[in-house]
Structure 1
């Protein structure tokens, strides 16, 4: 519903409107407002509205020019908020602070006096304590604004006018970059070197259809961050970023060696707080994660200087490789070249993701428009002045007569009418003559007027020539860009190091290589020990028992297979070393409620069994569903898993040996209510010995279970009657081995090949007990040892 005023009666009335329509309309209005009036920069001057309003307010209203004294930041914020930007003072002050930080902008536009924050992430002082004025580079973006070079629009309250865009001589969008989050889109433009960008502009003036590859190869080699550092992208990667307007810049802090015992970090990645990097490194040193380092000191002043103390004989590159891997000393900048481009409506820009060519082309076309409008304005002012000077020249030729007319006139109006009639001059010329002081009618002043008239006519002629010749105007633009470069360009700070600068990091280098035993209980408690005497000597919690004892190197990995069809893999070194109970496996991973371990596999190559390739007789059974091929068998063993609903999957360990995230990797797709009862390592020649709750037993070759490359629902291992479920299974490669089962009346059965025939999977199996059921199974702990060398 909406409330409207009835114009006829003056009363309010309630009108029903569709909710989805008004919600959509108002949300779109809000999104458009955020995109065009807050979050995205203009492609021409590279500024967001708040930045543009700050610079314009400082220039036009407060006249805080570089040669003037600083004024309180609160004055600037109040001026901008009251006249141009109807938002919070903190938003305006934060934007002004950023334009003053030499570690945020490659070419700062505001000259800040006082505490404007630091690279350590310190907040700036309150606006009542700091002062600011414009920098000389900002004047290059503003000086032409009084010559009708850009369009103006009413401010938020309609009392004043503000520029739609600044007539910038500086390609600010690339030089200082931009970042912002709008509704449904964002921008993240890295800063660049001013000299390189202007060189690219000069080349595009000469070659308007320049290729981006030429610009990147010869001029803009890559971003140039104010904090320096090294860029690890290849030339091809950088070219793709500039062609598509999207990509990732890999940044790394730079360091240098001082002797053999100190590494000095001299720069940090852009956008990362230095203090956080120091804190991260200190934590890793304290936790002894970097055995090569003994201490860290931050000796930074205006320049970054973080001192890393190395232990005698330590490898500095190995230490730095660890830090690059585990701290923000190596960081990524996600490039998104989205900005507002001009439209037919001069006051509103359209959001668009652009490439390098688009940015430079729009800037140069904008400079042509600004220069043309500036020349037209200058010519207009010259012509006005010439017009007045010509009036003085006419009067001087008959000065005595003109004075006589003025003296005989009744008043100023009468004198003006008689002068215009006598000398054929217009009202403007007449007013100028009548307002002239008598001493200016001296011979010396008249000579100066004639000299000025000649100069103004020559200058006007020159401007007309420029307006008639576009090529000449491009030459003027070129000269102005060169002047900006000569006055403000500096050396590149970020080194384009390329991928060769990458230091190889191997996690095993930081793990002491030793052989241990990984011990896991049925309830999911895990630990590692260097040795043990027997299983009974292993300490476990009351009511729990050991389920797996597997040897492995601390540099190897171990996989935990759960009843929910997920495999969690961790390095053995990350498992707690203790003779106590250990830790719940959930402490290492993010288990769901009621998720538990049903299989453990040590991925140490020394104890993994080799896979048995399929022979001709078994291929038909193994590849019935086309999920695997014989060439897939590269010697990796298999993991076999069977669910309580009778589904079976078999897959190689490839893809599960590397450490996983806390959420693990799926190895089986389960139907609602189904769970894996057990997962076991296999070579491929064993028999599956399986028992169901209603007293059925089934033995079939494991190779009849199809091999899958990824998580799958699997094939039918046993067909179950309603209400039945798989109790458990085991893999047997010896005749007398099998699955020990206990019936509800206490009798024990062993499902093995000596008692039950080896049949095919998918059948119902043999009914072992007609009255009663299988109540439980006996699963012996899996205990393995390293083979003798």
Structure 2
């Protein structure tokens, strides 16, 4: 055979589309008519038609079912067939199970089902409602995978299985996630549409109130939100577990009575226990799973603890409150009965498709029943003709030379056809008794009456809809049950505050020069604090675990962390880069804890914008001072930085190109700024000369610098002798202090005075920032 040249991109596109459509139509998406995927449909059909495993039959080994399905209908692995069969037997997966499983079929704790050789199964009564009409020519069949037998394209479902049991699946380029619903509500919704095909979704939602999950729970969405989801065919609902408070013998406990749909109970209990063990949930002292057939998870409360606070935490941090994403995508019939097409539907469209299918099934069923009746009537009419002259019939049969001759004689004498003649000849002699003849004539009358009734139904579509309504009502009375998932319930919104779950205790926040951070309950002396080699303690500040610590960096960003989240250890601690997303070369230049023992508030006088405006009161804020290497400076408030930040932090100053912050300190507005530049100049001026900015800004010039110069460091002088000690490149140390002889405070922005005439400055010498408090909580600052 000669090779054929093809375009690669066209061939790849064609074959991928064929594969995608195969996955969509033959594996992943359910049909809107019977709510089944192919593997589910084949399992039920094999159990009903081949194995006769109806709800009143003796169950058989699951391996026999899997083998039958795999051999004749579903040419895939046995595990996929058995997994699908197991799910149809699980009462926590399907709202109305279709397989009656005997043995271990898994649990809500995530336990796997036993091997198929150990379990048995049969159909449930509801599954029979999907299959009983299949022998009455109600649906089309097609050849199976090897054309040795036929299989139904769709089951003649009498119940809207797609809505009552839901479906989930991932295809190529699309997916579906349909929640289960209450059968009574769905059937009532169908009844509304039968009576009024123009009914709006708003009217349907008053009956079909929302999903009804097999595991119960509470839906937090309002009816308007649920209606919008049903109108658009997609959206999300929030499921919250049912819970109550139980008191016994002076002890109080929270009893969790349900878990959200698809949540593994065992994993959920483990997650709750892990939060309790980690002391993140101080209201709970013990967790026990006392579930049997019903869910009962006991959370024992600490005496006097707030149960609502505990539940607010659990709803936020565990799957006790989960989101279910709804996607009403399914296969809908097309002009080609062999090939359905995928579509996202709204609620009304799903119900309408089912009703159209139901009318088609009922019509075909009636036509089949009528054809069977007419055939029987035709036979009985032959008996009626023959019974009018029975002696002649007997004489013809006795004088004939065989069955064929007798048949020709009866046809010739009575004017009946060959089928009727054969029926007469096959009749046993006892049927010629008067009683039997009477029974046959009675049957004929009944069959004629039934045929007339069916023909009337076929002639009147309204009568057929009335029949469908009655059949749906019968199913409702047989299978309706109470709703499990609460909707439109008055659910109290529990307020979540992170501070409620932190033990409020005092601690010391310790930060080293290289950026290693930790907290300790106490320490005796700075020298006793353990640090890494070639590192040193730079900041030690008190704070409470519910408060926050702020880390100001050289790149103009501040990172805020709750003190409780800082590692508690007497070791080295953790590098700050492991918690926050630092850039290359970014380092800590200032630390502050938001604690009353540390922070000092000062007043900011408001700007007077007009002489006619009423004077405004001064604003009391906690101020920080920052100065950059290129001499820019600003004062700013920490008001916007108090809450924990993301890993990216928040900006407190806008830096120019290749600029960086050298130091950040807190100010009360009374200090004097002492600055030193690397080229050996010093400057002192009142801190109030630096402008105050409410938002991140570039700031104002603190010191005029030559092009080759930059700021080495600065400090705030709080006492007359306070100052900045710097070291020259020759090893000498020089103080920048407020003395009349040399560094008397001047004004911001000038070049300052010469510190050294030769060489340059290489570093500043400042003691660690250690804030110690007395018993009266007075603040003493030592630098």
TM-score under structure 1 normalisation? 0.82
Q: Does 1:431 align with 2:422?
A: yes
State the match for 1:115 in structure 2: 104
State the match for 1:395 in structure 2: 386
Structure-2 separation of matches of 1:451 and 1:665: 92
Taking only aligned residues, the RMSD between alpha carbons, in angstroms, comes to 4.4
Query: Deviation digits for residues 418-477 of structure 1, max 9, x if unmatched?
Result: 544444433433333333333333333332222222212221221222222222222211
| Cα distance change on mapping 1:635 and 1:670 into 2, 3 Å | closer
Q: Does 1:236 align with 2:228?
A: no
Correspondent of 2:363 among 359, 369, 372 = 372
Structure-1 separation of matches of 2:600 and 2:334: 66
Moved more, 372-381 or 352-361: 352-361
State the match for 1:505 in structure 2: 496
Correspondent of 1:659 among 640, 644, 655 = 644
| Cα distance change on mapping 1:444 and 1:290 into 2, 3 Å | same
| CA-CA distance at 1:241 after TM superposition | 2.7
Moved more, 479-488 or 743-752: 743-752
Question: Does structure 1 retain, via aligned residues, the 8 Å contact 2:29–2:175?
Answer: yes
State the match for 1:79 in structure 2: 68
Q: Does 1:55 align with 2:44?
A: yes
Structure-2 separation of matches of 1:765 and 1:21: 77
Structure-1 separation of matches of 2:326 and 2:659: 44
Partner of 1:495, secondary structure, is: coil
Q: Does 1:252 align with 2:241?
A: yes
Partner of 1:209, secondary structure, is: coil
Partner of 2:337, secondary structure, is: coil
Query: Deviation digits for residues 348-382 of structure 1, max 9, x if unmatched?
Result: 33333333222222222222222122122212222
State the match for 2:7 in structure 1: 17
Structure-2 separation of matches of 1:693 and 1:55: 85
Q: Mind listing any 5+ residue stretches in structure 1 that lack a counterpart? A: 7-12, 619-630
Structure-1 separation of matches of 2:380 and 2:635: 99
Query: Deviation digits for residues 620-669 of structure 1, max 9, x if unmatched?
Result: xxxxxxxxxxx9x99776888888899999997676543345x4446499
Question: Does structure 2 retain, via aligned residues, the 8 Å contact 1:688–1:702?
Answer: no
Query: Deviation digits for residues 121-175 of structure 1, max 9, x if unmatched?
Result: 1111100000000000000111111122222222222222222221111222221
| Cα distance change on mapping 1:563 and 1:433 into 2, 3 Å | farther
Moved more, 52-61 or 547-556: 547-556
How many pairs are equivalent? 756
Q: Does 1:166 align with 2:155?
A: yes
State the match for 2:374 in structure 1: 383
Q: Does 1:223 align with 2:211?
A: yes
State the match for 1:626 in structure 2: none
| Cα distance change on mapping 1:314 and 1:732 into 2, 3 Å | closer
Moved more, 94-103 or 26-35: 26-35
| CA-CA distance at 1:278 after TM superposition | 2.4
Structure-1 separation of matches of 2:195 and 2:602: 67
State the match for 1:627 in structure 2: none
Question: Does structure 1 retain, via aligned residues, the 8 Å contact 2:555–2:655?
Answer: no
State the match for 2:173 in structure 1: 184
Structure-2 separation of matches of 1:648 and 1:389: 111
| CA-CA distance at 1:279 after TM superposition | 2.1
| Cα distance change on mapping 1:424 and 1:539 into 2, 3 Å | same
State the match for 2:484 in structure 1: 493
| Cα distance change on mapping 1:319 and 1:715 into 2, 3 Å | closer
Structure-1 separation of matches of 2:627 and 2:341: 58
State the match for 1:10 in structure 2: none
Correspondent of 1:333 among 320, 324, 340 = 324
Correspondent of 1:90 among 76, 79, 82 = 79
State the match for 1:323 in structure 2: 314
Question: Does structure 1 retain, via aligned residues, the 8 Å contact 2:676–2:714?
Answer: no
Question: Does structure 1 retain, via aligned residues, the 8 Å contact 2:690–2:700?
Answer: no
**Pairwise mapping of residues 286-685 of structure 1 onto structure 2 (< 5 A)?**
286-496=277-487, 498=489, 500-530=491-521, 538-561=529-552, 568-589=559-580, 596-604=587-595, 607=599, 609=601, 612=604, 615=607, 656-660=641-645, 663-665=647-649, 667=651, 677=661, 680=664
| CA-CA distance at 1:38 after TM superposition | 1.7
Structure-2 separation of matches of 1:654 and 1:380: 86
Query: Deviation digits for residues 34-89 of structure 1, max 9, x if unmatched?
Result: 22222222222222211111111111111101111010001111111111112111
Question: Does structure 2 retain, via aligned residues, the 8 Å contact 1:153–1:162?
Answer: yes
| Cα distance change on mapping 1:489 and 1:723 into 2, 3 Å | farther
Partner of 2:314, secondary structure, is: helix
Query: Deviation digits for residues 200-251 of structure 1, max 9, x if unmatched?
Result: 22222223222323333x3222322222233333333333333332113232
Query: Deviation digits for residues 699-724 of structure 1, max 9, x if unmatched?
Result: 9976598945xxx9x79989999998
Partner of 2:491, secondary structure, is: helix
Structure-2 separation of matches of 1:362 and 1:61: 29
Moved more, 93-102 or 486-495: 486-495
State the match for 1:45 in structure 2: 34
| Cα distance change on mapping 1:759 and 1:591 into 2, 3 Å | closer
Partner of 1:496, secondary structure, is: coil
Question: Does structure 1 retain, via aligned residues, the 8 Å contact 2:509–2:543?
Answer: yes
Query: Deviation digits for residues 227-280 of structure 1, max 9, x if unmatched?
Result: 223333333333333333211323224234142414233222221222222222
Partner of 2:53, secondary structure, is: coil
Structure-2 separation of matches of 1:421 and 1:697: 137
TM-score under structure 2 normalisation? 0.83
Question: Does structure 2 retain, via aligned residues, the 8 Å contact 1:262–1:309?
Answer: yes
Question: Does structure 2 retain, via aligned residues, the 8 Å contact 1:612–1:683?
Answer: no
State the match for 2:92 in structure 1: 103
| Cα distance change on mapping 1:617 and 1:230 into 2, 3 Å | closer
Question: Does structure 2 retain, via aligned residues, the 8 Å contact 1:735–1:754?
Answer: no
Structure-1 separation of matches of 2:626 and 2:11: 55
| Cα distance change on mapping 1:225 and 1:517 into 2, 3 Å | same
Question: Does structure 2 retain, via aligned residues, the 8 Å contact 1:741–1:751?
Answer: no
Structure-2 separation of matches of 1:530 and 1:310: 27
**Pairwise mapping of residues 123-142 of structure 1 onto structure 2 (< 5 A)?**
123-142=112-131
Structure-1 separation of matches of 2:171 and 2:652: 41
